[in-house]
Amino acid sequence: MTRDDLGHPVDLRGQATRVVSLVPSITEALVSAHRDRVVGATDWCTHPGDLDVARVRGTKNPDLAAIRALSPDLVVANQEENRELDVRRLRAAGVPVWVTVIETVPQAIASLERLFDEALRWQCPAWLAQARDLWCGDLPPVDRRVAIPVWRDPWMAVGSSTFTGDLARRLGLANVLAEHAERYPTMSVEELEQAGADVILLPDEPYTFTADDGPEAFTRTPTELVSGRLLTWYGPSLVEAHRGLARS
């Protein structure tokens, strides 16, 4: 019996052939390796765009009955994105659940390698080794200081101990809220502008910031629109993110 990222024992019997993913990033990662073995995903699992599997509602309110009806060999969850209560209820119903813990880019890559090797018993996809080469070296010098809102009304931003903050730092972008006591603090626009950022990055998810929704709130600090998937996801997009965000 092997243990997931939280140390919980997971009873796995051979190679997984029916997998339900409750994490959009991980859904994309799984499909890149074995599309035919992914039988269920959340409504938020939008990549790849042509994914045709049973939908089991959202990451925070999954349809547990629908998941059980799919008879999965394994359900994949994440400590931050999914509720402990749902994980416990699935396990109580006899459904094996593997919980990932991801707060940095190297941790994401190591977690995915364990997921493929130990839980799924699938061969790791080639992009995963490429992502390790791209992201797991020494930190580059700081090029710019950034703040990264992820919601508005109320405004919330990336704080301490987050995958997004670590990814930004590995691109030379230092999060001015990296030492905040909270992981996603609620802040006013004035507080964001006073935080000392050279630029405020506005991703298009989880909140959909656009040219007409977000930049107009900031009068003193320049803003840039960026891809939320490249900034916050930890699947195959990691390779694209290194190229696409390197000069953001």
CATH number at residue 181: 3.40.50.1980
**Per-residue pLDDT tens listing for the chain (248 residues):** 899 999 999 999 899 999 999 999 999 999 999 999 999 999 999 999 999 999 999 999 999 999 999 999 999 999 999 999 999 999 999 999 999 999 999 999 999 999 999 999 999 999 999 999 999 999 999 999 999 999 999 999 999 999 999 999 999 999 999 999 999 999 999 999 999 999 999 999 999 999 999 999 999 999 999 999 999 999 999 999 998 786 54
Q: Nearest CA to 45 among 18, 25, 65, 75?
A: 25
CA distance 206 to 152: 10
Spell 217-228 as b/e; 16+ CB within 10 A means b.
Answer: bbeebebeebbb
Structural domain that includes position 54: 2-134
Q: What would the two tokens of residue 11 be?
A: 């009873």
Same domain for 184 and 81? no
Cβ–Cβ < 8 Å for 33, 128:
no
Q: Nearest CA to 169 among 112, 229, 102, 231?
A: 231
pLDDT the model gives residue 245: 81
To 10 degrees, what angle do helices 105-114 and 126-135 make?
Answer: 160
Same domain for 180 and 118? no
CA distance 54 to 67: 9
- State which of 88, 115, 134 marks the end of a domain: 134
Sequence length of the chain is 248
Same domain for 120 and 12? yes
Q: Nearest CA to 80 among 238, 219, 233, 240?
A: 233
CA distance 97 to 106: 22
Q: What would the two tokens of residue 245 be?
A: 């965000």
Same domain for 182 and 87? no
- Per the domain annotation, does 167 fall within a domain? yes
Same domain for 107 and 46? yes
Same domain for 130 and 7? yes
pLDDT the model gives residue 51: 96
Same domain for 151 and 29? no
Is 201 in a helix, a strand, or coil? strand
Cβ–Cβ < 8 Å for 207, 231:
no
Expressed in percent and rounded to 5, the helix, strand and coil fractions of the chain are 35, 20, 45
Answer positive or negative: Cα dihedral of 100, 228, 224, 194: negative
Containing H/E element for 126? helix 126-135
Same domain for 16 and 122? yes
Same domain for 210 and 105? no
Phi, psi of 210 (to 5 degrees): -135, 180
- State which of 82, 100, 134 marks the end of a domain: 134
CA distance 144 to 169: 9
Q: How far is CA 79 from the centre of its chain?
A: 11
- State which of 79, 107, 134 marks the end of a domain: 134
Same domain for 202 and 96? no
State the total domains in the chain: 2
Q: Among all chains, which residue has been given the structure tokens 């006899």? A: 94
Containing H/E element for 163? helix 163-169
- Per the domain annotation, does 139 fall within a domain? no
CA distance 94 to 223: 48
Phi, psi of 41 (to 5 degrees): -155, 165
